[in-house]
Each structure stands twice: as C-alpha cells, then as structure tokens.
Amino acid sequence: MIMDSIIFNSILFLGGVGLLFGIGLGIAAKKFAVKLNPKEEEIIGLLPGVNCGACGYPGCSGYAAALINGEAEPGKCTVASKEVNSEIARILGKEVAETDRKVAIILCNGGSNCKDKMDYQGIKDCNIAAAVFGGSKECSSGCLGLGSCAKACPFGAIIQEKPGDVPKIDWNKCTGCGICVSVCPKKIINLVPCKFKFHILCQSNDKGAIVRKICSVGCIGCGLCVKVCPEKDIVLENNLARMKYDNCNNCGLCFAKCPTKSIKEIKLDYSNKISKVS
C-alpha cells in the first residue's frame, strides 16, 4: 500500500514538473521567437525544400535569408523551375538572368571496356576504393563503378545498374545540383549545358599506346577531332582531347571522325531534355 502511494506521488510529481517545463518552454519559444520577413517566408514557400546545398547555402531557408539580405542573387536554385526563380526575382524586385540548363555528364565510358588491375573486394565506395592504389581500374582516371555518385544524388537521377560499370544518368531527373561532381574521387563528372550534344567521354592523360592496351573506348590523343572541328572548340592537352563547350555548333564531325568512339552523342528533344544516348 505504501509502495503504491510512493509510486503514485512520484508519477504525480514528475508529471507536474514536466507540465511546468512544457509551459515554460512554450512561453520562451513565443517570447524569443525570431520573426521572419514576410518576403523571406514567401520565398521559402516557393523553394523546393530539398536542401541540397547546390546554391551554395545551407538549405533552402539559408538561401532565402541570403536573398533577403542581398547576399545572393535569384536563379541560383537549380532544382526550382524557371517560373519559380522568376517569381522569387519579382518578390525581390530584381531580374533573374537567363541561364542554360545544365546536367551532369560522367566523362568516362570505360566500365567493362576498361581492364582491371586487381579484384577489389573492399567496401563498395569509390572514395574508399580510390585510396587503395588508386582503385581497381588500369586507367588511373577511369570510373570505379561503385556508385558513390548514385548514392549521393538526392533526386535519384543516377543509377548504378551493375558494380564495375559506369553509372547511368537520367537527365530528365538531373537538376544540375553538382553534388555528384563533388563526391567523385576521380573528378570525371562535369556539369554541361544541355545545348551541347557531343561529349568526349574520357579523362585519361596516358599516351595513346597505353590507352589502347587498357581501354577500348579511351581517347588516344590522335587529334583528329581537333583538326576536323570547324569551330575550334576542341583542344588537345596532355594526350587528351578536351571539349571547351564554348562555340560547339553540334555539327557532329568529331563524333564521326573519332577512331575509338570515345566521343558520344546525346540527343535532345525540343523541351531541352535528354531523350536518347547513342
């Protein structure tokens, strides 16, 4: 009986203390609450709320605060639609600059086309694998195919179908946030404007003779694409042909001339979204 009374009193006491603390916290939250600028609240409501950080600020609320304080410009959110960015600019009394939609391109077509130098059995993470003698691929610049970029993508735009293969990007889902770019230890993912259709999917600086031995689709630095480009938008540097993405007119002469087929064409539909990769 006495024990029941002690338990009851303890529960009553703890409940009373909890109630008092709850009331105190509620009063404190109301008294010390930071009131948001109405425009800031409106902008937060317009932003997608993904909090990917692609704008360079800690989440959507951080970007909204920076916009209100004049520390950021509208149009930095790659996830938001053109209409949303325009509406945010209107709220701020500014104009948003027109920018070309960008998507991520993995500049490697190695995968099963590139020889392995060892059988990696460690943790399936590209950054960890790269720390073990540069990874399992003979090509020091080749994709390790462990899908760290796919795991990091907050939009499900990158798919790792088979370990060892180069991941595939669903460009209709890609927002160009750049998270995959920062995650890749080989630095072979770039953000490229959608208006460009041809891409050199190789980042190897090895000499052509070495590339031929280890990768059937690697750039051998022959320079044929450089010579045939009418816009001079391809340069040859350190045994590697590189697309500048400045003046390319999508003529496709480089694609037709490449002997190793390391140049690929990505065909766009009229809505500026990817429809097919050849």
Select from 1.10.15.40, 1.10.1200.10, 2.60.110.10, 3.60.130.10 the CATH code of 38-92: 1.10.15.40
Pick from 15-19, 172-176, 248-252: least confident: 15-19
- The whole-angstrom separation of Cα 20 and Cα 27 is 11
Q: Write phi, then psi, for 197 (nearest 5 degrees).
A: -100, -20
Could you tell me the residue ranges of all domains in the chain?
A: 38-92, 102-277
Give residue 101's pLDDT: 84
One fold for 38-92 and 102-277: no
- CATH architecture of the domain covering 102-277: 2-Layer Sandwich (3.30)
Q: Tell me: the pLDDT tens digits for 107-151?
A: 999 999 999 999 999 999 999 999 999 999 999 999 999 999 999
Query: Is residue 152's pLDDT more than 60?
Result: yes
Mean pLDDT, residues 22-49: 72
Query: Is residue 176's pLDDT more than 70?
Result: yes
Give residue 270's pLDDT: 37
Give residue 58's pLDDT: 84
Give residue 40's pLDDT: 85
Name the residue with higher pLDDT: 51 or 231. Answer: 231
Write the burial class of residue 1 (CB in 10 Å: 0-12 exposed, 13-18 middle, 19+ buried). Answer: exposed
- The whole-angstrom separation of Cα 28 and Cα 200 is 59
Q: Tell me: the pLDDT tens digits for 62-109?
A: 998 998 888 988 888 888 888 888 899 899 888 877 777 889 999 999
Query: Is residue 34's pLDDT more than 70?
Result: no
Which own/partner pairs from 116-120 qualify as long-range (CB within 8 Å, at least 24 positions apart)? Answer: 116/164
Mean pLDDT, residues 18-39: 64
Mean pLDDT, residues 250-278: 75
Q: Tell me: the pLDDT tens digits for 191-247?
A: 999 899 999 999 999 999 999 999 999 999 999 999 999 999 999 999 999 999 999
